[in-house]
Amino acid sequence: KVTRELLEAAPELRIVGRAGIGVDNIEIDAATDQGVIVANAPEGNVRAASEHTVAMAFATARSVPQAHARLKDGEWAKGEFLGTELNGKTLGIVGLGRVGQEVAKKLDSLGMDLVAFDPYISEDRAEQIGAELEDLETTLERADVLTIHTPLTPETAEMIGEAELAEMEGGYIVNCARGGIIDEAALAEAVEEGIVAGAALDVFAEEPLSDESPLLDVEDVILTPHLGASTEAAQENVAVSTAEQV
């Protein structure tokens, strides 16, 4: 984390490069006060993050890790996993930025209908992507699979809580954007109670994820340790982009 204390300790510092999209680990106000430029690499890991999102959507809809674990334990649990086909289902997208648009393109081509919530994008642009623009409540109601692609801001912090999860009855939730956007305790409870069919998360409010997290105790919650940008190509792309920014 690039904090005010760190910035004030480096009087010769001119630029902070973030090898990725989000800059929520940098105190922007403090950087501004010190006259330090903050630059990100918004393009480099878009494909990697979007591919991981698609993988997580299929993993939760078909219980891939759970079935794998049972088989490794010596169980042929063929009759215990009845999956959901994504073809013909509705994908709800919260945030139609670069990654959200790439996910939309991929899952549209796989036969999903698209509905999106993003107050900062025009209806014309959403239409070009092939998505219907709706408010958050309608997006949640219509989505069979909900995917999150917003930065973590005061506006988006815990924007998906108990009430919002109740709107998604029987659906699946994927978050490969930022932790803290979904109320994790509420999500664990919603999946445990069968309100939400399943969830797949790559990001968490606190990382590394605490051993005490309620998410770890729910079978139909799939977790990965913030792997969205962890491909060779993405790491090279963001490194080169950051060097160019400097």
Q: Is 162 a catalytic residue?
A: no
Catalytic: which of 193, 207, 219, 244? 207
How far from 231 is each of 55, 62, 86, 201, CA to CA, in Å? 14, 24, 25, 18
Q: Is 149 a catalytic residue?
A: no
- Report how far residue 222's alpha carbon sits from residue 162's, in angstroms, rounded to the nearest whole number: 19
- Report how far residue 125's alpha carbon sits from residue 135's, in angstroms, rounded to the nearest whole number: 16
Catalytic: which of 164, 167, 178, 184? 178
- Report how far residue 21's alpha carbon sits from residue 120's, in angstroms, rounded to the nearest whole number: 17
- Report how far residue 57's alpha carbon sits from residue 219's, in angstroms, rounded to the nearest whole number: 16
Kind plus residue range of the DSSP H or E element containing 146: strand 145-148
Q: Is 178 a catalytic residue?
A: yes
114, 109, 149: which is closest to 130 by C-alpha?
A: 114
> Which residues are catalytically annotated?
178, 207, 226
